[in-house]
Amino acid sequence: MALPFILENEVLIEVKAISINPVDARTRSGIAMADHLKHNNPLILGWDISGTVTSIGAKVSKFKKGDNVFGMINFLGHGKGYAEFVAASEVHIAHKPSNINHEEAAAATLAALTAWQLLVRYAKIKSGNRILIQAASGGVGHYAVQIAKHLGAYVIGISSAKNRRFVLGLGADEHIAYDEQRFEDVVSEVDFVLDAFAKDSLYQSLKVVKNGGTIISLLPMISEDVLQKAKEKNVVVQYSCRIEW
Ligand SMILES: NC(=O)c1ccc[n+]([C@@H]2O[C@H](COP(=O)([O-])OP(=O)(O)OC[C@H]3O[C@@H](n4cnc5c(N)ncnc54)[C@H](OP(=O)(O)O)[C@@H]3O)[C@@H](O)[C@H]2O)c1
């Protein structure tokens, strides 16, 4: 079998597990990153992986042969993660903690990084902040609940009733079932809304966020009408793909 060629700052990883996020499915169906990647032939999809280093480039300093690693390979570029072996820059991977398996590590890449970047780097959540997390049982949301709780926030999580125990088990202080009640009837004055549902709930989110608060949506676009209403309430509405890291 021909193995991928590695550059001097890259490692070769034998892939043990991958994870598939909405962006993978959308790209495969011809949207998301499909246009950007269309000139690659053959095109190998996949970004999130976990595996074992089998060789290292001359300038690699953080990893050695045999290390178990995980990461998001060349995200937004040609990841080539759906493969037995993948070449990865050493800045795209981290050592896999020994108390989680490869499947868990592969799953803790794009979804966890999204939650971490939004709550820690963008929102700078502080102890005592009141946070509403929509889709708290989902890929991004279930990490967001744990990270926000770790940072000392008061966390209100929304999911279906069947996932109530799961969301409370992650550390949420309160749970609202979207199939039992409307969250805007029972929540108010939150500092920060993370709308990981990313469908059509921005108007309701505007009702519950306090003056001066922030809403982050995982929607790819936000309407001018929502932005205008947010401005009137002195609320920042941001969508994650527009944030420059
Ligand atoms: N996964 C990623 O790494 C990632 C990164 C960036 C952006 N995004 C975007 O974020 C969005 C969510 O992706 P995901 O992977 O986190 O989701 P997911 O794992 O597919 O989960 C979907 C979530 O939506 C919840 N939900 C369904 N109907 C709802 C409603 N009416 N109100 C509130 N919540 C509802 C579900 O709750 P129940 O299961 O309890 O019904 C579940 O928690 C997608 O648009 C995706 O493109 C995802």
Q: What is the model's pLDDT at position 181?
A: 96
Q: What is the model's pLDDT at position 102?
A: 98
Judged on CB neighbours under 10 Å (0-12, 13-18, 19+), 5 is exposed
Q: Which of 240, 204, 197 is nearest to 222 (CA)?
A: 240
Which pTM does this prediction carry? Answer: 0.93
Task: Please tell me the distance from the alpha carbon of residue 163 to that of residue 177, in angstroms, as a whole number.
Answer: 8
CA 150 to ligand 1 centroid distance, Å: 21
Write the pLDDT tens digit of every residue in 182-199.
Answer: 999 999 999 999 999 878
And the tokens for 93? 């991977």
Q: Which residue has 């920042």 as its token pair?
A: 236
Q: Does the C-beta of 141 come closer than 6 Å to ligand 1?
A: yes
Q: Are 191 and 123 in contact (CB under 8 A)?
A: no
Q: What is the model's pLDDT at position 105?
A: 97
Q: For the chain, how are helix, strand and coil distributed in percent, rounded to 5?
A: 30, 25, 40
Q: What is the model's pLDDT at position 245?
A: 47
- The 10 Å CB-count burial string (b at 16+, else e) for 189-221 is ebbbbbbbbbeebbebbbebbeeebbbbbbbee
CA 204 to ligand 1 centroid distance, Å: 17
And the tokens for 83? 């493969």
Phi-psi region of 80 (alpha: psi -120 to 50; beta: other; left: phi over 0): left
Site to probe by mutation for ligand 1, drawn from 160, 164, 183 as the one with most ligand atoms within 8 Å of Cβ, is 160
Write the pLDDT tens digit of every residue in 61-79.
Answer: 999 999 999 999 999 899 9
Give nearest CA residue, ligand 1 atom 9: 218
Strand (E) or helix (H) holding 104 = helix 102-107
Neighbour count for residue 178 (Cβ, 10 Å): 15
DSSP letter (8 states) at residue 163: G
Q: What is the model's pLDDT at position 244?
A: 54
Q: Are 194 and 145 in contact (CB under 8 A)?
A: no
What is the amino acid identity at position 141? G
Q: Which residue has 């982050």 as its token pair?
A: 216
CA 65 to ligand 1 centroid distance, Å: 37
CA 29 to ligand 1 centroid distance, Å: 18
- The 10 Å CB-count burial string (b at 16+, else e) for 136-149 is bbbbbbbbbbbbbb
List the pLDDT tens digit at each of the 245 positions of the chain: 789 999 999 999 999 999 999 999 999 999 989 999 999 999 999 999 999 999 999 999 999 999 999 999 999 899 999 999 999 999 999 999 999 999 999 999 999 999 999 999 889 999 999 999 999 999 999 999 999 999 999 999 999 999 999 999 999 999 999 999 999 999 999 999 999 987 878 999 999 999 999 999 888 788 899 999 999 999 999 876 655 54
Q: Are 73 and 47 in contact (CB under 8 A)?
A: yes
Q: Does the C-beta of 204 come closer than 6 Å to ligand 1?
A: no
CA 207 to ligand 1 centroid distance, Å: 21
What is the amino acid identity at position 198? A
Q: Does the C-beta of 19 come closer than 6 Å to ligand 1?
A: no
Cα of 69 vs its chain's centroid, Å: 18
Give nearest CA residue, ligand 1 atom 36: 135
Alpha carbon dihedral 36, 40, 44, 50, in 10-degree steps, equals: -70
CA 85 to ligand 1 centroid distance, Å: 30
